[in-house]
Structure 1
Amino acid sequence: MRRPLEVLAVGVVLGELLCLAGIRGILLFLLCLCPALLAFFWRGVRRRILLVLVLGAVAGALRLQLALLPGRAERQLQRAEGAAATFRGRIAEIEPRGELTRVRCGSVYLLLRESDGERLALGRVLTASGNLSPIAAPTNPGEFDYRAYCRARGVTHRMQVRRYRVEGRASPLAEGLRRFRSVALERLKAVCPEQEAGYLAALLLGDKHALSEDFYDLYRKNGIAHLLAISGLHTGFLGLALYRLLRKKCGLSLSAVVTALFLCLYAALTGGDTGVFRSSLMLGLGFLALCLGRSYDLRSAAAFALLFLLFLSPLQLFQCGFQLSFLAVFSIGGPGKALTERFAARRKLCAAFLQSLTVFLITLPVISYWFFSLPPYGILLNLLVIPMTGALLLLGFMLLAAAFAAPPLALCCGQILHLALGMQILLCRFVEHLPFHRILLGRPKAWQLVAYSLCLSLSFRLLLDRESRPKEKRQRTLRLVLFLCAALGAGISLLPIRSRVPRVWVLDIGQGDSIVIEQGSRCITIDGGSTSRPDCGKQVIEPFLMSRALGIVDAAFLTHADLDHTNGLSYLASRGSGIRVKRVILNPAAETDSHYAKLMTSLRENPETELFFMGAGDVYGNFHCLWPPREVLPEEVNEQSLILLFTANGKRCLFTGDAGQPSEEKLLERLAAPERAAERAALTDIDLLKVGHHGSRGASSEAFLALLSPDCALISCGRGNSYGHPHAEAMERLRRHAGQVHSTAKEGALSVELLPN
């Protein structure tokens, strides 16, 4: 067995995945164990591989299960949850967050405002009182799982601090590094423009807060965002450059020891990202091998680093950065190396392209799962930009040193950096104008990831299997056909799976409304905003649409002008969003009412978005507008809300915005006219009702609900909102007249499929 550590690492990963899958994973494992037991009696090498694999799987499953069980500290925090909690712990991390500061003590993030006389420092003991709560799981598809991210770092709770005090002595080394990082960031801001300072802060110090969102999004959308973070690539550049520099003057052992110590300090200075630890461990093993006169194996070193990091925190396996970091290394040391030796042994450019393509193909499932899209030109961009990174890294350190010692020299370095960044930005802008610069895949299901991995593995096997290379033409043709089928199967397996029937989503957006109706690749939204989550457009609605592979909103209805219905959609309709909104449909009051002036200004900033106005009696596709009438518009903004009847597959759905009882009464009067008997009949015994005004007391009147008698009623409101939504009286009326009542505050995002009768 050539690489036992690699086999053990595969077993540990498999064990964690089976443990996470629960009973289904255990049954699958037992099913696979039967043929494995038969293989136990094969040759000795295969027997040892099987034993190591099973041992690793058991160890991985047990370690993850232990990490998932609440420990003593977590149980104490669970008992202390509430508005009057007290917490005491040693400060392990301090991070500015605008006017506030986030402090990590043990397994708690504390958000506080620094007070005079209470100096925060790493290593000091902090005692705080405030509102302690567990970090909540995401409640919408596609939403970033902040709870899983925190748990992988050992954090389970957060506290909004009202009062605190600190005592004890600071840790000299940790606090010294933190202060140096803070001073270095200030020096960079003093000698560089904002964009260059933010870039260097991310590249050298691991601080992304100074990066503008537009700059980061530009790199992310083009597949080179990894260059804006301290990664294994940067650490490798630094470690090897320092080692080669020292090796000319010092002995082998001294150079290796000094470089290893520097990497440890640098990892502590930059916050200890997964890529930094992985690269530092692997370089350390490389230096150890040099000192001992042993050969260095990249894959074994990567396997050791993986086992070490998963032993410390097994939940890291389910984080994007961990997956991308290790998949990239294994692809370079495995298929990438083999393909290069086979097809481009003496052609450096072709070899670099093959390596980049291999990394892209192997990390593609992770990219599609976490980012929902792939930048096909990212391979070429990385080939152009990565060679610049080493030079920019060294230039950045020179600029940082000059910022302390000779600020005028730092200005000269800043000009060079400005030109290099300008070149990268031009490349990204150029690529964005090419056809198919972004392919939206959505979030693939587990079986799609498995199918892609199997097909890709078969493709590599057919390309690289030298021992069974056929000599006859018929056999070569058969292998070529099998390879093409496997490659095609890999490509098809990640295509988005779309809903064949209309599906109505009510997103959990906090105190607001956001409704999405999807069918196939078509998508229509009704409202999109929140007062409790002002960034809902970027953090909730856009990720949801992208996770469903919906890059275009065909029509967006805005029922009225309140922020809790509009601020998220205003972001989607802007040029900075990754979603294209074809048209926005508003109520007739938006043409003249001053309440809509700011909203209309923001919507008109994007010329690609068309504006339409809709009143009672108008029809758009399957939507029939029932309220408000164009001839007599209500003065109160909520009562101007569009009331829309949507029909599909024989099912009728009513969406009422924030319309209250006055609108309901006038609508019932309007429908009482003989000529509107058909409209009234369409509202009798409907299938789905989006409850008006978040379930407030002043909406969903008795007479209105008696006419509708919905089979299902959905309420969109925030947890613990100050308005008391949904109101007890409204809930009582809904229970009397609706078949089922569901609320986003209790259940998260809600979805209903409109199946044909």
Structure 2
Amino acid sequence: MKNRPMVLLFFSVFLGIIIYLSRIWLLFLLLPILAIFHPIQQFPRFQKVFSFLLFTLFFSLGFIRTAQVLAPLTYIQSNIEEGEIIQFRGELYKKDVKESGITYYLRDVISEGECLGNVIYYPSEDYASLGSILSLSGSVTYFESARNEGGFDAKTYYYSQNIYLKMEEVSGEEVLTSGNVIWEQLFQLQQRIKQVEVLSLPQEEGGLLAAITVGDRGEMDEEVKNLFANVGISHIIAVSGLHVSVVGMGLYRLLRRRRHIASSAICAGIIVVLYGVMCGNSVSTIRAVGMFLLSLTALVLLCDYDACTAIFVMASFLLLKNPFYLYHISFQLSFVIVLGVVSVASPLGNAYDVHCRLRWEKTHKKSKGRRWKKNRKERLIRSLIVSICIQLCSLPMILWHFYTIPLYSLLLNLILLPLIGILLGCGLFAGFVGALFPIPIAILKLLFLPSHWILYFYEMLSSLVSKLPYCSLAVGRPNLYLLLFYYSALLLLARYLVHIARTRLLYSMKLEDEYGRSYSPLPARYQRCIVIVMVCLLLLPVLFFIRKPEDFEIAMLDVGQGDGIYLQDGMGGNYFIDGGSTSDSNVGTRVILPFFKYRGIQAIDNWYVTHPDLDHISGLIEVLDSGYDVKRITVAKYIIRNDNFTQLIEAAENNGTEVFVADVGDTWKDEEKGHEFLLQAIYAGNEAELEDANANSLVLYLAYDDFEGVFTGDIGSEQESVIISNIDKIKNIDFLKVAHHGSNYSSSEAWCEFVDPTVAFCSVGEKNRYGHPGIEAVSRLENTGAKIYYTKDAGELMLSYVEHRIIVKEMVR
């Protein structure tokens, strides 16, 4: 703490932000206690007073800055209705160009004299320069929170960038002031480089290279992006420390050959800042550029550069700029990885160097005048140690945000990362040449040839790895307390190994530490402890695979206009009913698969298909096409065998999934530890109605201990009457899945009175063209006294049954 005061200042800022965001005003009472027991107590009196004043100052800055950033959001929530038309103006600070169109980002937006923070909207064309002040009017749209577990949380994502509103139906666009010439020229240069790369390389490679070199993902192929994420190398796409160090240090060393240190550092610093601005000034880019500038400053001033101090300086700067960066994925991943390098990877790499040096000195005692130098094997092992440590540090954050462990990412990164310098250098050189000079496309293709070979190798190797068994293991989002325990254990184990290495070094050199203590040779038991600690380090990730058995649960996903229901039997069995949507064409990849990853569901034991309408099977087909492990699909005996059904069967066959045809009375049962789970087909269609897919829906009866429920598919009132007349045990049930999304032609009065549910779930899309749920059907259900929940209002619905009590949780509310 004495040597790194920025650590104290960072935690002062951090504490101020957390106290304001959590509204825990009573923590102010803890400040006198912190003043007494804080580590600054070890300082001399003057330093103690000065440090406490700094702590108070930066705590106040964090607290006040958070209040300033939240003020526009508070005003918006209190005074502006969604859909309201407002007149506003703001500064254009970012443009995002994609195939689908262009997005404008405005900051410091003012409407009727009040600040609204930052805003985004979608103009029909690019008509303004960066830095321009724009005036326009538009309809206010709020950002939504994630509607399903594992889904994209637009609200948190945009709020973390101080973007509180999205404007639609924009009109009256007017440019009030001219823009910043440098910003606009850098943006145009970025676009020209992207165009050159896309034209000179195959489409997926051009878009990938543009993302790697200039941070523009507008032309990047979605399949390539998913492939890299699946195998654990997506970090090379984000412009961060790796890119800035390659560009910045390469440029500095080149300039250093002919220039003075100061002039070389100034030139390199200016160019790296401009490069960061051109790449979009993302959180990771700002952090990397800032740390690079601090390293250059240390070189010029002939000071030692401390990466730990630099990371806390940039963290404090970014949090004071925007306290909501705490929730930004780039901030979390970037700083955790850099801190991991500083606090774990580098110290353990240095500890290995000490071990190698002492081993060499022991075997070369008589070799006077010779000095130890790492050989190839030692350099390779050190790189492996550092890479493993970085993976161990980043793993919890990857699991927190992506829910999967890319099993082969360590090996893949060791092979691919050494090529990133060549890729960046060749790609940027060819891109700048093509953007600045009128060069024939044939010559440009020759200049991009090294980049093409490297990218082809990246894609080929990633594709091969993705086909290996257990390439990506879905273990789910870890518990927050488990994350804290993991990082604490990792730091303690790493510190212990570093302490052992330091002890050995001091003993070998007959030196004393800073407290005047001398050291004796390590006993044999310490040698065994080292092995045990190293094994514990490598086994730490096993913690994330240890999961307590899930309790019984029904989860109705918000798939829009469609159905998708997950069942957990409380004994490790995973079941799913339907899974499709007509309002979301990619519901399988956008909703269902992310839900499985979030929950850590490795496979579905039985997937029940009520009928083959697309709003019930479109997502299932996507899941099968992705190669996800679905052990069995169950369909009704009289299911309509239309084109959708044929497509489903083909997808199942290609995935190696068994298809089972169920008839009335077929039962699936599981028993364990005093609990019994049962699913039974109580309706499987009618041979006389082979033209009506809804009428031939598979209807399932569920029993878990004394809890009972019915899943109805899209049956109508006629099928309800048939079931009532044949099945008596569904009377007065606990749970009902409302038939046909709440259609007036289902949920008849006789049916509602007969089943008389305690709780009913209705899967229905907002503002759907069918008018679901019908007013009459809702009225009939409400007359039974049932509590009805709708996915259009609450997002994902989760029902659990604990100690004979029904507990319902809503994702959105």
What is the TM-score with the length of structure 1 in the denominator? 0.89
Q: Which one of the candidate residues 360, 371, 380 is aligned to 2:402?
A: 371
Q: Is residue 455–residue 486 contact of structure 1 (8 Å, CA) maintained in 2?
A: no
Q: 1:596 to 1:491 in 2, by over 3 A?
A: closer
The one-letter code matched in structure 2 to 1:141 is E
Q: Is residue 142–residue 543 contact of structure 1 (8 Å, CA) maintained in 2?
A: yes
Tell me the equivalent position of 2:217.
Answer: 208
Deviation at 1:638, TM superposition (A): 2.4
Unaligned runs of 5+ in 1: 672-678
Equivalent positions of 1:28-43 (< 5 A) are 37-38=36-37, 43=42
1:151 pairs with 2:155: no
Q: Is residue 324–residue 363 contact of structure 1 (8 Å, CA) maintained in 2?
A: yes
CA distance in 2, matches of 1:612, 1:32: 65
The one-letter code matched in structure 2 to 1:133 is T
1:302 pairs with 2:333: no
Q: Which one of the candidate residues 547, 550, 567 is aligned to 1:497?
A: 547
The one-letter code matched in structure 2 to 1:686 is I
Tell me the equivalent position of 2:200.
Answer: 191
Deviation at 1:227, TM superposition (A): 0.8
Quick one: percent identity of the two aligned structures? 27
The one-letter code matched in structure 2 to 1:639 is A
Deviation at 1:110, TM superposition (A): 4.4
Q: Is residue 639–residue 697 contact of structure 2 (8 Å, CA) maintained in 1?
A: no
CA distance in 2, matches of 1:39, 1:176: 50
1:716 pairs with 2:734: no
CA distance in 1, matches of 2:284, 2:213: 14
Q: Is residue 63–residue 314 contact of structure 1 (8 Å, CA) maintained in 2?
A: no
Tell me the equivalent position of 1:510.
Answer: 560
Find the residue that maps to 2:565 and give its secondary structure.
Answer: strand
Q: Is residue 521–residue 550 contact of structure 1 (8 Å, CA) maintained in 2?
A: no
Equivalent positions of 1:619-638 (< 5 A) are 619-621=667-669, 622-638=678-694
Deviation at 1:488, TM superposition (A): 8.5
Q: 1:172 to 1:394 in 2, by over 3 A?
A: same
1:243 pairs with 2:242: no
Q: CA RMSD in A?
A: 3.2
Q: Compare 381-390 and 38-47 and name the one that shifted more.
A: 38-47
Q: Compare 324-333 and 30-39 and name the one that shifted more.
A: 30-39
Q: Is residue 137–residue 173 contact of structure 2 (8 Å, CA) maintained in 1?
A: no
Q: Is residue 565–residue 579 contact of structure 2 (8 Å, CA) maintained in 1?
A: yes
Q: Is residue 668–residue 680 contact of structure 2 (8 Å, CA) maintained in 1?
A: yes
CA distance in 2, matches of 1:572, 1:15: 45
The one-letter code matched in structure 2 to 1:701 is S
Equivalent positions of 1:249-648 (< 5 A) are 249-345=258-354, 346=374, 347-404=378-435, 405=437, 406=439, 407-466=441-500, 473=523, 476=526, 483=533, 487=537, 490-491=540-541, 493-495=543-545, 497-518=547-568, 519=570, 521-575=572-626, 579-590=628-639, 592-594=641-643, 596-604=645-653, 606-621=654-669, 622-648=678-704
Q: Is residue 735–residue 757 contact of structure 2 (8 Å, CA) maintained in 1?
A: yes
CA distance in 2, matches of 1:555, 1:56: 59
CA distance in 2, matches of 1:593, 1:381: 44
Q: 1:99 to 1:748 in 2, by over 3 A?
A: closer
Q: 1:721 to 1:83 in 2, by over 3 A?
A: farther
Q: 1:315 to 1:658 in 2, by over 3 A?
A: same
CA distance in 2, matches of 1:317, 1:110: 21
Deviation at 1:88, TM superposition (A): 3.5
CA distance in 2, matches of 1:342, 1:481: 14
Q: 1:493 to 1:64 in 2, by over 3 A?
A: farther
Deviation at 1:436, TM superposition (A): 4.0
CA distance in 2, matches of 1:76, 1:653: 40
Tell me the equivalent position of 2:782.
Answer: 735
Q: Is residue 197–residue 206 contact of structure 2 (8 Å, CA) maintained in 1?
A: yes
Q: Is residue 700–residue 712 contact of structure 2 (8 Å, CA) maintained in 1?
A: yes
Find the residue that maps to 1:209 and give its secondary structure.
Answer: coil
Q: 1:53 to 1:376 in 2, by over 3 A?
A: farther
Q: 1:362 to 1:563 in 2, by over 3 A?
A: same
**CA deviation digits over 1:240-274, x for unaligned, max 9?**
11111112222222221121111121111111122
Q: Is residue 14–residue 60 contact of structure 1 (8 Å, CA) maintained in 2?
A: no
1:701 pairs with 2:732: no
Deviation at 1:149, TM superposition (A): 1.4
CA distance in 1, matches of 2:35, 2:133: 53
Q: Is residue 136–residue 172 contact of structure 2 (8 Å, CA) maintained in 1?
A: yes
**CA deviation digits over 1:428-481, x for unaligned, max 9?**
244335454333321012111111122222212322224788867486389569
Q: Is residue 696–residue 715 contact of structure 2 (8 Å, CA) maintained in 1?
A: yes
**CA deviation digits over 1:130-187, x for unaligned, max 9?**
4312111112222222211111211011122253423343432222222222222222
Find the residue that maps to 2:442 and give its secondary structure.
Answer: helix
CA distance in 1, matches of 2:471, 2:159: 35
Q: 1:641 to 1:80 in 2, by over 3 A?
A: same
Tell me the equivalent position of 1:165.
Answer: 173
Tell me the equivalent position of 2:711.
Answer: 655
Find the residue that maps to 1:573 and give its secondary structure.
Answer: helix
Q: Is residue 690–residue 696 contact of structure 2 (8 Å, CA) maintained in 1?
A: yes
Q: Is residue 191–residue 403 contact of structure 1 (8 Å, CA) maintained in 2?
A: no
**CA deviation digits over 1:319-348, x for unaligned, max 9?**
221112112222222222221121135332
CA distance in 2, matches of 1:334, 1:74: 42
Q: 1:470 to 1:694 in 2, by over 3 A?
A: farther
CA distance in 1, matches of 2:53, 2:308: 17
Q: 1:507 to 1:76 in 2, by over 3 A?
A: closer
Tell me the equivalent position of 2:124.
Answer: 114
Q: Is residue 130–residue 159 contact of structure 1 (8 Å, CA) maintained in 2?
A: yes
Unaligned runs of 5+ in 2: 108-116, 355-373, 504-518, 670-677, 805-813
Deviation at 1:521, TM superposition (A): 4.2
Deviation at 1:390, TM superposition (A): 0.3
What is the TM-score with the length of structure 2 in the denominator? 0.84
1:223 pairs with 2:232: yes
The one-letter code matched in structure 2 to 1:445 is N
Q: Compare 319-328 and 483-492 and name the one that shifted more.
A: 483-492
Q: 1:630 to 1:616 in 2, by over 3 A?
A: farther
**CA deviation digits over 1:503-522, x for unaligned, max 9?**
11011222222111124543
The one-letter code matched in structure 2 to 1:617 is G
Q: Is residue 614–residue 644 contact of structure 2 (8 Å, CA) maintained in 1?
A: no
Deviation at 1:553, TM superposition (A): 1.6
Find the residue that maps to 1:640 and give its secondary structure.
Answer: coil
Tell me the equivalent position of 2:82.
Answer: 81
1:96 pairs with 2:97: yes
CA distance in 2, matches of 1:436, 1:659: 40
CA distance in 2, matches of 1:159, 1:490: 46
CA distance in 2, matches of 1:559, 1:369: 34
Find the residue that maps to 1:494 and give its secondary structure.
Answer: helix
Find the residue that maps to 1:159 and give its secondary structure.
Answer: strand
Deviation at 1:377, TM superposition (A): 2.3
CA distance in 2, matches of 1:182, 1:368: 34
Q: Which one of the candidate residues 183, 192, 211 is aligned to 1:174?
A: 183
Deviation at 1:683, TM superposition (A): 0.5
Q: 1:715 to 1:486 in 2, by over 3 A?
A: same
Q: Is residue 442–residue 496 contact of structure 1 (8 Å, CA) maintained in 2?
A: no
**CA deviation digits over 1:12-70, x for unaligned, max 9?**
345545655554x967x988996984567964379959958964884476157426633
Q: Is residue 555–residue 584 contact of structure 1 (8 Å, CA) maintained in 2?
A: yes
